[in-house]
Structure 1
Amino acid sequence: MSDSSVPDSSVPAAMRAAASHLLYHLDDAQRARGQLPFTEDGARRWIEYRPRPRPGVCLADL
């Protein structure tokens, strides 16, 4: 971000490219665990952090 409160418009594209790059380099089993549907429940709780088992793949396993 710059000094203004308007975010740089290139950030979403860079994030999308990074996620696509990561998924491309996973094997089929890892991709199945790391690419889950984004349900409404997931949309409500995506930022919530509680130490508990979570769906998906652990970054340490990649």
Structure 2
Amino acid sequence: MPAWFLIGEEDRIIPAELQRYMAQRARTQRTVAIEGASHALPVSRPDATVHPILEAAALRVAA
């Protein structure tokens, strides 16, 4: 199953660079970096978090 990885650029728990490494190792289909987002992406940047989630869901429904 394709996996997407959302990265909070302002994450103080898991640095963004480490998240990029983890996404690469997991061979994700897509990685999305969200500027200004903390570790709690849906709380810190709900406006930017919802779009990749809806896009991934739409691709899954269309398949």
Query: What's the TM-score, normalizing by structure 1?
Result: 0.30
More strand by proportion, 1 or 2?
2
- TM-score, with structure 2 as normaliser: 0.30
Greater relative contact order structure (CA < 8 Å, 6+ sep): 2
Give 1 or 2 for the bigger CA radius of gyration: 1
